[in-house]
Amino acid sequence: MSIREIARTLYQLKKHVEDVERTFQAEPPGERRDTLERELAKARAEHRRVKKILEGEKGDPPSGRRQ
């Protein structure tokens, strides 16, 4: 996967997290809010995972090249 594709995925995940956060904040306490809280935790975890992948890709020197 290219850096551009990873960055695009990260952007989409960020927007998803923001959308779920807004919905969560607007939702009154109850079962739906509990469901949104779990979804938000999963979305944040996925965002962190992809962010680490992107940071790793940007930090690694290209293969076959010596510094």
How many beta carbons lie within 10 A of that of residue 25, not counting itself? 9
Instruction: Specify the pLDDT at position 66.
Output: 46
Q: Which residues contact 13 (CB under 8 A, 6 or more apart)?
A: 43, 46, 47, 50
Is pLDDT larger for residue 64 or for residue 55? 55
Burial of 53 (0-12, 13-18, 19+ CB in 10 A): middle
What's the mean pLDDT when you consider all of the chain? 90
- Locate the domains of the chain by residue range: 3-57
| pLDDT at 63 > cutoff 70 | no
d(CA 51, CA 13) in angstroms, rounded, equals: 10
| d(C-alpha 44, C-alpha 47), whole Å | 5
Instruction: Please write the tens of the pLDDT for every residue from 11-21.
Output: 999 999 999 99
Question: pTM for this structure?
Answer: 0.80
